[in-house]
Structure 1
Amino acid sequence: MKQAIVARTDLGMGQGKLAAQVAHAALSAYEDADERTRRAWKGEGQKKVVLKGSGESELFELADAAERAGLPNAVVRDAGHTQLEPGTVTALAVGPGEDDDVDRVTGDLSLY
């Protein structure tokens, strides 16, 4: 099992901002998963990959695909306290889920 986090490359986020947004996405999608999935993923080491997303529209397309596939997912919007405007979509997490299911949604993306 794994979780894929897609972070936008077009925003110029600093490393700390990027790390925080990825963490927000990972936790939010974990909370969207059912208890059986959470336990299984935790038991397998909580595998994650961080991938490049080109922009907001791509993240929403991927979120729609994750919903259709029945995968837990979460879109992150920044609070706007530091580098970005409030409400800026920064990241999407897909999963945790079976590797093949997550790959059907995010498998064409490059590693961050």
Structure 2
Amino acid sequence: MKQAIVARTDIGMGQGKLAAQVAHASLSAYEDTDPGARTDWKGGGQKKVVLKASGESEIFELADRAEREGVPHAVIRDAGHTQLESGTVTALAVGPAADDRVDRVTGHLSLF
């Protein structure tokens, strides 16, 4: 099992902001995952990969694909307290789910 977190590369997030948005995405998708899958993922080392998205439209296309595949996911919007405008879409988490299910949604993306 794994989780893929897809972060935007077009909005100039600093490293700390990026780390915070990835963490928000990971936790949000985890909370929407069924308890059995959460237990399996945690017991298996909580494998994660962080990938690049070129912009907001790609985030929403991937979220739609995850929805169609029945894979837990979460789109993250920034609160606007620091670097970005409130409501800016920053990241998407896909999974945790079986590797092949996550790969059907995000397998074509590049590593961050």
TM-score (normalizing by structure 1): 0.99
Other structure's SS at 2:93 match: strand
- Runs ≥4 residues deviating over 3 A: none
| Residues 31-66 of structure 1, C-alpha deviations (whole Å, 9 max, x = no match) | 010001100000100000000000000000000100
| Residues 57-85 of structure 1, C-alpha deviations (whole Å, 9 max, x = no match) | 00000001001111110000000000000
- Counting aligned pairs with the same residue, the percent is 80
Other structure's SS at 2:76 match: strand
1:27-38 to structure 2, matched below 5 A, reads 27-38=27-38
Other structure's SS at 1:94 match: strand
Q: Distance in 1 between matches of 2:60 and 2:32?
A: 17
Other structure's SS at 1:92 match: strand
TM-score (normalizing by structure 2): 0.99
Q: Distance in 2 between matches of 1:62 and 1:69?
A: 10
Q: Corresponding residue for 1:50?
A: 50
Other structure's SS at 1:33 match: coil
- Give the number of aligned pairs: 112
Aligned-residue CA RMSD in angstroms? 0.3
Structure 2: runs of 5+ lacking an equivalent: none
Q: Distance in 1 between matches of 2:83 and 2:67?
A: 30
